[in-house]
Amino acid sequence: MIVLEVGYNFQFRSHPELVQTEFVTRDGVRDLVQVCRAHGARVIPQFNCLGHQSWRHTLYPLLTEYRELEEPPDDAPDQRWTGGRSWCPLHPQVNEIVFALMDELIEAFDADAFHVGMDEVLVIAGRKCPRCRDRTPAEVFARAVNDYHRHLVEEKKLTMLMWGARRDATERILGHLSTTWVLEPGGFARALLGEQDSLLVSPRARDAAAACRAALAEPLR
């Protein structure tokens, strides 16, 4: 099973204003899914929901185009929030937009499952947010999880995935994902196949492949 973090790097028709500079086309997705299926791999699209709406001072398209959807951060002396702004899950307009993006990805990937991300939500239930300030982070987070579950599982009949801390694994966890976070094209796959050309395989790809191999060799007990 391969989970692809797509985010805003897709040729969205419903919201072309939210397409990032580099994006994959519908034909590109179709070809990729065909190749994966031909090799027995299930492909699941991922769209980071709630958090991770920015990275290293770059604000992603949703909050750039719709400033009113941002969860206002509390004053944070360490400015950590600059790496992970959030949308406000209680804003009355946010789900209409996000669900349209989800639906397009589901269709393009012909997906039977969807990964909503939701790790590292650093800004949530902000004290400056008129909708969230009287609620706990847990309440706001649970509201978001249930909203996405209602759309993806109850309405679309898909399986919904989200990140969890392994550290808190219970007997109910069915498996795990190995993450790569490798940017160069094909670098992780090359490393996994044992290639060592430093021009094509970065140290990060090599380390990610080693971790993946170890995880495959020793599944959850």
Contacts with Zn ion, residue ranges (CB under 5 A): 71, 88, 90, 129, 131-132
Provide, rounded to whole angstroms, the least separation between the CB of residue 101 and Zn ion. Answer: 20
Closest CB to Zn ion among residues 108, 132: 132
Token pair 């007990």 in the structure block, residue = 221
Contact 201, 191 (CB under 8 A): yes
Closest CB to Zn ion among residues 137, 186: 137
Provide, rounded to whole angstroms, the least separation between the CB of residue 132 and Zn ion. Answer: 3
Contact 6, 45 (CB under 8 A): yes
Beta bridge partners of 4: 45
Provide, rounded to whole angstroms, the least separation between the CB of residue 119 and Zn ion. Answer: 19
Burial class (CB in 10 A: 0-12, 13-18, 19+), 105: buried
Token pair 């400015």 in the structure block, residue = 79
Provide, rounded to whole angstroms, the least separation between the CB of residue 6 and Zn ion. Answer: 25
Closest CB to Zn ion among residues 70, 104: 70
Closest CB to Zn ion among residues 90, 182: 90
Contacts of 71 (CB under 8 A, 6+ apart): 85, 86, 87, 88, 123, 124, 126, 129, 132
Provide, rounded to whole angstroms, the least separation between the CB of residue 125 and Zn ion. Answer: 7
Label residues 159-181 b or e (16+ Cβ within 10 Å = b): ebbbbeeeeeeeeeeeeebeebe
Closest CB to Zn ion among residues 87, 114: 87
Closest CB to Zn ion among residues 89, 187: 89
Provide, rounded to whole angstroms, the least separation between the CB of residue 121 and Zn ion. Answer: 12
CA distances from 203 to 37, 206, 207 (A): 29, 5, 6
